[in-house]
Amino acid sequence: MAETDGPERICLGPHDLLAGRNSVAITVRGYHLLLVRDGERIVAAERACPHEGADLSLGQCVGGRLLCPRHLASFDLRDGSVSPGWSFRALRLFEIESASDGLWLRMK
């Protein structure tokens, strides 16, 4: 489980946490999140789709977008915005910092 360092910056573990995978589900302070590789960047997102709660760890990340497996809406991994034609809120994203001592999550 994650180690904490202050109220907002949380150590997730080593740089190879994704270990060649495109995503991995994690739980931090009771929040179910998904770490997603987007090219060279790693981002954390809430794991439940904001539409009807589908598990986004079962979706795919393609071209900077995370695809929901249930109704196929997709989310922009830069700002969480949902694909055109949907009217629910954006996916919540959290910044991941890659530091010399590992990956850190910033929760707001």
The residues binding ligand FES (CB under 6 A) are 49, 51-52, 54, 68, 70-71, 73
**How far apart (Å, rounded) are the C-alpha atoms in residues 12 and 17?**
8
**Nearest-approach distance from CB 12 to ligand FES, in angstroms:** 25
Quick one: CA torsion of 86, 53, 74, 96, rounded to 10 degrees? 130
CB nearer to ligand FES: pick between 70 and 92: 70
Quote the least distance from Cβ 30 to ligand FES, whole Å: 21
Smaller CB separation from ligand FES, 44 or 48? 48
Handedness of CA 58, 1, 107, 94 (dihedral sign): negative
Identify whether the C-beta of residue 66 lies closer than 8 Å to the C-beta of residue 45.
yes
Q: How far is the CB of 56 from ligand FES (least distance, A)?
A: 8
